[in-house]
């Protein structure tokens, strides 16, 4: 099931949204920050906050 995810990275001030099936997919699709950044990712319809590592871009 696809969800709309809100993505916030404090390290590089990135903010974005992605509509994907998973947190990892949302990060890969939207956030291009260094892999050592920590971002907060959560479904916009939900309440729970999940901390994940940023994923590198696949260029």
Q: What's the pLDDT score for residue 11?
A: 72
User: CA nearest 16: which of 35, 38, 39?
Assistant: 39
Q: What's the pLDDT score for residue 49?
A: 46
The reply to whether 59 falls in a domain is no
- What is the rounded distance in angstroms from the CA atom of residue 58 to the CA atom of residue 18? 16
The reply to whether 58 falls in a domain is no
Give the range of the structural domain holding residue 36, as residue numbers without chain letter: 3-53
Per-residue pLDDT of the chain (59 residues; tens, 9 = 90+): 788 888 887 777 778 888 888 877 877 777 666 655 666 776 665 544 444 554 444 43
Q: What's the pLDDT score for residue 4?
A: 82
DSSP string, 14-53: EEEEEEESSHHHHHHHH----TT-EEEEEETT----EEEE
How many structural domains are present in the chain? 1
The reply to whether 14 falls in a domain is yes
Residue 1 CA, chain-centre distance (Å), reads 17
Q: What's the pLDDT score for residue 58?
A: 43
The reply to whether 17 falls in a domain is yes
């Amino acid at each position: 099931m696809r969800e709309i995810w809100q993505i916030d990275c404090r390290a590089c001030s990135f903010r974005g949204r992605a509509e994907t099936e998973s947190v990892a997919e949302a990060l890969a699709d939207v956030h291009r920050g260094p892999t050592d950044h920590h971002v907060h990712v959560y479904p916009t319809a939900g309440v729970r906050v999940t901390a994940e590592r940023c994923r590198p871009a696949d260029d």
